[in-house]
Homo-oligomer: A and B are copies of this chain.
């Protein structure tokens, strides 16, 4: 495993819209790109047992998550003709309405970018050791489970 190639996908706190804009803007010099596909996960104010989710507190097993993400990246680049791929996941407390996951794939053609993006999102949900604790408005909590 080449440590230099392992990108840190985690950031503390929510992913700002300006961060996403900067990321999009940076691709304007890559004129072989024809299509970008972006997925954003946003914390939902779900109602459970008459209580409303106010935030999700994310934790991870970082060393393992980064290795896993590196594997996912390699498998996606082996399968799809992507120009580039970026993944960012929040850690810590993310309030309802804030963005906690940002997946960004770019390719020459739209189908490739969209299929790759969808697959990355699914793999992240299933394979990354990340845990979300849903915190209700009254400070009680429950552990999130992915479907």
Point out residues on A near B: beta carbons under 8 Å. 17-18, 20-22, 24-25, 27-45, 96-99, 106, 108-110, 113-114, 117-118, 121, 147
CA distance A147 to B17 in the complex (A): 32
- State how many angstroms separate the Cβ of A120 from the closest Cβ of chain B: 11
Chain B residues with CB under 8 Å of A106's CB are 42
Chain B residues with CB under 8 Å of A33's CB are 42, 44, 97
**Cross-chain contact B34 with A41 (CB below 8 angstroms):** yes
Question: How many subunits of this chain does the assembly comprise?
Answer: 2
- State how many angstroms separate the Cβ of A145 from the closest Cβ of chain B: 14
Chain B residues with CB under 8 Å of A41's CB are 34-35, 110
List 19 A–B pairs whose Cβ atoms lie within 8 Å, in order of A's numbering.
A20-B20, A27-B97, A28-B98, A28-B99, A31-B43, A31-B45, A31-B97, A32-B44, A34-B42, A34-B43, A36-B99, A37-B37, A37-B40, A38-B40, A39-B114, A44-B108, A109-B147, A110-B121, A114-B121
Chain B residues with CB under 8 Å of A114's CB are 39, 114, 117-118, 121
Complex partner residue of A17 from B25, B29, B113, CB under 8 angstroms:
B25
CA distance A113 to B118 in the complex (A): 11
CA distance A44 to B117 in the complex (A): 20
CA distance A114 to B45 in the complex (A): 20
CA distance A53 to B44 in the complex (A): 43
- State how many angstroms separate the Cβ of A106 from the closest Cβ of chain B: 8
